[in-house]
Chains A and B, each alone.
Chain A
């Protein structure tokens, strides 16, 4: 199982270590540093690195490497999933997961890590159980603790720990009972030069914020559940009921949680909400290149495309650009060659465009590679797959909860080749 954990920052320093079995010397990380040196980009460090006596499994998040050390045959996915869970927990506790935040809360971090793994076996990873065991730091609590001498550590065995609904504690009480669900869909797509779609898929999630008293039992049904044929559920969802009736039936955890994530891949179901017209050319023997880009909406069911951000890694030979945006602002970093254009909202009557010239290194040959354009956007009040919630019902409790559903579509990895 997981032997030790090292946290490494982007400059290659180990700033925290934790061992669950015997102590493994820091020098084991030298193998990791070697791999880090070899990698051209920070994200290119391979996730599994063999060393003579151990294996190092690492994830990179928030520019921190979480390096786990294992010694025997352990499923790597198990380790990686666990590491991501650690990051999520830190973020949950401290708001951000940065080196500074971890250092500021080092004792809580240590207590958390101790609580999450025992002898390398996961012990408590559910956020609400952890929060009962170790209270998240808040300014108020720190003050109160100093005055009253009470502690951050729960004295009682968390109630959820062993019940059949380990994700929910008992005795939850709210004055306002509310349940909010966000349907968020991200489109991953690759569009080729000519504008036709090479791949497109939707990664959707339903995130929930449920603040309901007692032990509510919820059911959520959809207008078009047929869309959901590839789903992953939170453990609270009753799988049999879903299989039989296509209804989500569950006792929710308290607070924020991800109820389900789904995947829509069949091409005809995935609408592409924006199109790009581009003309990026370099002429042989000239030190100038032309750059033209126009964006427009399509298949958005009348909803506005907002927060549009276009970025592109221009070829290394480009020295500078001189462009003219019809709206928004653009920046070009001559060192990284990253062009980014903050477009804002797309107005269908007056399409945003970015036109101008690029100057190349004098005498350099025409760049071989064609830059790929990366687009981010948001569309409110629409799930691009067409998924719609039919109704939400509550059983088991008498009060009337306040319910809300929100839809949103975002660009995931949305790439246009030129």
Chain B
């Protein structure tokens, strides 16, 4: 006796037969008939013709029959709205039934009948049920409000159901509270600004109480709701954390992950030196590890989230590397995620283990996985310097296997290793060249060509190798063609005598026979360069390349912070902000981590180009917060040098920003040999595109030496050489004598004739003579480095002061600093080495040719996404627009256009930094008002703060 018998009547008159049975007098027969109908419905058969007959069976005291009829109703009411009205009376009557189960069932079913006419009748019974004495009915009614809202939002508001629902948050029964929260959260999703869930300490307390007693699902709703709250101070934050931590031991993994979200968010507010902070960190690791022993689908979601957590707080799981080791029968999606996390956790301490594992994976069967494993070895080499050698030898071993895709993948990563550690591992080039013939994927071919071009002087037959590629030039992909062009030009510059013919050939192929504009343009540029000034060409093409940074694939910090607020959600699985992809969430607010008390992070900069700005729908409200917030943020900013030791964001996470801001920008701007990397460095294409067609984008660092050659080529004489009297701040003391065994250093920065100078006053306050001065900079955001030695001519006798002017270049190693304009300096003398850090005004980086063409300005302004715009107020300035303009001009802030509207002057200005980043500005001044408004737009919004500072100092001095 099974239900499958309901499927067996497939004769012709099936519907007719059922109809007869439904109208039978016998209860048992009726029930059997309804069951048959339901069975047909479940498999998608259309039984809507039986509607009136089934509804007739509704009036019954048999609960099972009633439930079955309700099931049917819910499915078909929509297609038979007029008939559905017939059922209303029974519903209304059932809502008065003494049995709470029947009352709840009625209100629940009514809400599922998505027919407008019925909803009118639903209001009264629903109102009663929301106040029912039985909590089971109340909790069902709470959900019904959400259903009704989905059908007719206006009706729900008019009837005041939302207020009743809010009252239910204070209900005595935890299950009712949980359902009210769930219903409100769902309604709030479609009403972004309704402030439905008005969270205050009282409601939070109620939620926390209900949290302990409600079902697992209710706990998820409550925790997700709690995560939206911003505690007033660190104490409240801590007390909430304390009450949420027990949820980490729940058997339901969704509860655990929601609890992790709340803790990760609120932790942000706790001072790091607090004991509790450390305890909490320790408590987070075990539940995350446990998630990995669950079913593979759960593991996948957990791993995607762990990926975020590891980036935000690597310390939590740093000892848990082994749980991420791959089992051979894990599903592929779990394997790939584990691999990614393994690399993120790789450090000097565990690198040997990791490498051994990766090597093991590289011999597996699954091609995708093997490729990723090989790539991972390369990433390890770049991330952990000490392991580079071992990684390279592992890669060589893999190349020996001669498995085609392994070899290709290995060559691609070895190219990256060369970029990170130039001139260190060229000994392997010979091995690579042996495999030249087996390469058939464009990426691998391009990588190999890059290597040959880069090290042409050490490869005897480089010309033959490149020539062999040239034969099928037109069949190659663009990537390979561009690479080949650059490599041959490099080769020519290195060995001009024997390769003249080759370079001619490739230039003509690129410029005459190709219809790809990129290739053609690059060909022409090389051609002009080579014919005008080969020396300049050499300096451009063979210029020292910036090293690639270790973390090219980290999520951009502001996006990461937002995603941390969305742990456990779809956003966390896709690593995109919810606004970018969830349908119907038009007004989703960008969530932010709460600021840590005392320090304050500049979370204010919107997500950069990396998050794929294009994916965010137009309708998203302006990301710039209201002015009040903005001022708050401004005041909160950590402007001082980080001497307090509160580094707000983990530095590893910042690396990515640095790549985007500097590396990426530079690479794509230089455009010659960075192509194969383009994909790895997110964001660079966007930057490139933004400047597409503007010729004046050669990086300024190259600009100086090749000025002549490029000048006539591109006509960018601009402001080069105009002597200006830019504002120079007075010297401040950077190094105190008592901290440096008697050496006192005061200094400032200036830009004179296009050269940056560090003006130093060295004072000897010790008793003995000081000699042998030398200076060195740490890596910094803009690659500042001394252009010459520190010239202190005479030995510095006690109580003597000497003034030194040290010219600086911007070709040093790059690393993003916090704050951006922080410079760490080491000064050595015969006594010791001393360290100090100082802040340089970013205006010293403003180059003289920063004046943009009007059209280009307009296009660029439009092209930069609105999220990158930052608005500031400058107070107490008493200059008119012309005076301001000329003052700013002397600091290389160029006014391109001026517009006057309603007594308000708007100055449009452009600035170019030494690394080729453009900042566009709109300065609004009003006569008689001493407050200026400054809007800055830049592809690297991180610099906005520093630029603002410059405006302030220049305008006020």
Which one of A40, A72, A80, A151 contacts B584 once the chains associate, using CB atoms below 8 Å?
Answer: A72
Per-residue contact bits, chain A 234-266, to B (CB 8 Å; 1 contact, 0 not) = 110001100100000000000000101101010
User: Which of A152-160, A215-223, A288-296, A378-386 participates in binding chain B?
Assistant: A152-160
Known: A55-B570, A81-B253, A234-B251. A75 touches B63 (CB 8 A): no
CA distance A302 to B910 in the complex (A): 81
Kindly state whether residue B630 has any CB partner on chain A within 8 Å.
no
Kindly state whether residue B357 has any CB partner on chain A within 8 Å.
yes
Interface set, chain B 394-412, CB cutoff 8 A to A: 401, 403
Question: Do A231 and B249 touch across chains, with their CB atoms under 8 A apart?
Answer: yes
Question: Do B302 and A77 touch across chains, with their CB atoms under 8 A apart?
Answer: yes
Known: A1-B186, A369-B365. A110 touches B301 (CB 8 A): no
CA distance A39 to B183 in the complex (A): 37
Question: Do A44 and B140 touch across chains, with their CB atoms under 8 A apart?
Answer: no
Specify which chain B residues have a CB less than 8 angstroms from the CB of A261 in the assembled complex: 251, 290
Which one of A59, A121, A143, A240 contacts B297 once the chains associate, using CB atoms below 8 Å?
Answer: A59
Specify which chain A residues have a CB less than 8 angstroms from the CB of B719 in the assembled complex: none
Which one of A76, A107, A155 contacts B63 once the chains associate, using CB atoms below 8 Å?
Answer: A155
CA distance A316 to B289 in the complex (A): 34
User: Which of B143-151, B493-501, B751-759, B786-794 participates in binding chain A?
Assistant: B143-151
Kindly state whether residue B883 has any CB partner on chain A within 8 Å.
no
Kindly state whether residue B682 has any CB partner on chain A within 8 Å.
no
Specify which chain B residues have a CB less than 8 angstroms from the CB of A374 in the assembled complex: 329
CA distance A78 to B28 in the complex (A): 39
CA distance A327 to B327 in the complex (A): 28
User: Which of A15-23, A171-179, A278-286 participates in binding chain B?
Assistant: A15-23
Question: Do B35 and A107 touch across chains, with their CB atoms under 8 A apart?
Answer: yes
Specify which chain A residues have a CB less than 8 angstroms from the CB of B78 in the assembled complex: 22-23
Question: Do A198 and B99 touch across chains, with their CB atoms under 8 A apart?
Answer: no
Specify which chain A residues have a CB less than 8 angstroms from the CB of B75 in the assembled complex: 19, 23
Kindly state whether residue A404 has any CB partner on chain B within 8 Å.
no
Kindly state whether residue B699 has any CB partner on chain A within 8 Å.
no
Question: Do A107 and B186 touch across chains, with their CB atoms under 8 A apart?
Answer: no
Which one of B31, B246, B254, B569 contacts A73 once the chains associate, using CB atoms below 8 Å?
Answer: B569
Kindly state whether residue A389 has any CB partner on chain B within 8 Å.
no
Specify which chain B residues have a CB less than 8 angstroms from the CB of A125 in the assembled complex: 215-217
Specify which chain A residues have a CB less than 8 angstroms from the CB of B363 in the assembled complex: 368-370
Question: Do B111 and A81 touch across chains, with their CB atoms under 8 A apart?
Answer: no
Question: Do B1 and A263 touch across chains, with their CB atoms under 8 A apart?
Answer: no
Kindly state whether residue A111 has any CB partner on chain B within 8 Å.
yes
Specify which chain B residues have a CB less than 8 angstroms from the CB of A78 in the assembled complex: 217, 220, 254, 568
Question: Do A76 and B301 touch across chains, with their CB atoms under 8 A apart?
Answer: yes
CA distance A368 to B360 in the complex (A): 11
Kindly state whether residue A301 has any CB partner on chain B within 8 Å.
no
Question: Do A119 and B333 touch across chains, with their CB atoms under 8 A apart?
Answer: no
Q: Which partner residue on chain A sits nearest B135 by CB separation?
A: A162
User: Which of A98-106, A318-326, A328-336 participates in binding chain B?
Assistant: A98-106
CA distance A232 to B327 in the complex (A): 24
Question: Do A107 and B38 touch across chains, with their CB atoms under 8 A apart?
Answer: yes
Question: Do A119 and B220 touch across chains, with their CB atoms under 8 A apart?
Answer: no
Known: A59-B295, A74-B570, A258-B251. A103 touches B44 (CB 8 A): no
Specify which chain B residues have a CB less than 8 angstroms from the CB of A44 in the assembled complex: 331-333
Interface set, chain A 81-126, CB cutoff 8 A to B: 81-82, 84, 103-111, 114, 118-119, 121-123, 125-126
Secondary structure dominating the interface of B: helix
Report the minimal beta-carbon distance from A337 to chain B, rounded to whole angstroms: 11
Per-residue contact bits, chain A 46-71, to B (CB 8 Å; 1 contact, 0 not) = 11101001010111110000000001
Which one of B7, B114, B300 contacts A47 once the chains associate, using CB atoms below 8 Å?
Answer: B300
Per-residue contact bits, chain B 31-53, to A (CB 8 Å; 1 contact, 0 not) = 10001001100111000000000
Kindly state whether residue A413 has any CB partner on chain B within 8 Å.
yes
Q: Which partner residue on chain A sits nearest B179 by CB separation?
A: A121
Kindly state whether residue B175 has any CB partner on chain A within 8 Å.
yes
Specify which chain B residues have a CB less than 8 angstroms from the CB of A199 in the assembled complex: 322-323, 325
Interface set, chain B 297-326, CB cutoff 8 A to A: 297-298, 300-302, 320, 322-323, 325
Question: Do B286 and A230 touch across chains, with their CB atoms under 8 A apart?
Answer: yes
Report the minimal beta-carbon distance from A369 to chain B, rounded to whole angstroms: 5
> Taking each of B101, B179, B578, which has the highest tally of chain A beta carbons within 10 Å of its own beta carbon?
B101
Interface set, chain A 136-194, CB cutoff 8 A to B: 139, 142-143, 146, 149, 151-157, 161-162, 164, 166, 188, 190, 192
Question: Do B323 and A230 touch across chains, with their CB atoms under 8 A apart?
Answer: no
Q: Which partner residue on chain B sits nearest A87 by CB separation?
A: B295
Known: A104-B3, A188-B293, A199-B322. A233 touches B250 (CB 8 A): yes
Kindly state whether residue A203 has any CB partner on chain B within 8 Å.
yes
CA distance A80 to B186 in the complex (A): 19
Per-residue contact bits, chain B 227-264, to A (CB 8 Å; 1 contact, 0 not) = 00000000000000000001001111110111000000
Question: Do B64 and A151 touch across chains, with their CB atoms under 8 A apart?
Answer: yes
Which one of A46, A73, A417 contacts B585 once the chains associate, using CB atoms below 8 Å?
Answer: A73
Q: Which partner residue on chain A sits nearest B4 by CB separation?
A: A104
Which one of A76, A122, A368 contacts B215 once the chains associate, using CB atoms below 8 Å?
Answer: A122
Per-residue contact bits, chain B 348-381, to A (CB 8 Å; 1 contact, 0 not) = 0000010011001001111000000000000000
Specify which chain A residues have a CB less than 8 angstroms from the CB of B28 in the assembled complex: 146, 149
Specify which chain A residues have a CB less than 8 angstroms from the CB of B286 in the assembled complex: 229-230, 263
Q: Which partner residue on chain A sits nearest B324 by CB separation?
A: A199
Question: Do B2 and A104 touch across chains, with their CB atoms under 8 A apart?
Answer: yes
Kindly state whether residue A372 has any CB partner on chain B within 8 Å.
yes
CA distance A21 to B3 in the complex (A): 25
Specify which chain A residues have a CB less than 8 angstroms from the CB of B323 in the assembled complex: 199, 201, 265
Known: A22-B78, A53-B583. A239 touches B217 (CB 8 A): no
Kindly state whether residue A26 has any CB partner on chain B within 8 Å.
yes
Specify which chain A residues have a CB less than 8 angstroms from the CB of B253 in the assembled complex: 77, 80-81
Question: Do B67 and A232 touch across chains, with their CB atoms under 8 A apart?
Answer: no
CA distance A368 to B405 in the complex (A): 13
Q: Which partner residue on chain B sits nearest A417 by CB separation?
A: B360
Question: Do A118 and B300 touch across chains, with their CB atoms under 8 A apart?
Answer: no
CA distance A302 to B232 in the complex (A): 60
Specify which chain B residues have a CB less than 8 angstroms from the CB of A372 in the assembled complex: 328
Interface set, chain A 13-37, CB cutoff 8 A to B: 14-23, 26
> Taking each of A61, A75, A107, A164, which has the highest tally of chain B beta carbons within 10 Å of its own beta carbon?
A75
CA distance A15 to B569 in the complex (A): 29
Q: List 10 A-B contacts (CB under 8 A).
A: A1-B182, A16-B42, A21-B114, A43-B296, A78-B568, A149-B27, A152-B64, A153-B67, A198-B325, A260-B251
Besides the known contacts A59-B295, A201-B293, 6 further A-B residue pairs in the complex with CB atoms under 8 A apart? A20-B112, A73-B569, A80-B253, A151-B31, A198-B325, A415-B328
9 tightest CB-CB pairs across the interface, nearest first?
A230-B286, A104-B2, A153-B64, A151-B64, A47-B297, A77-B254, A122-B217, A78-B254, A199-B322
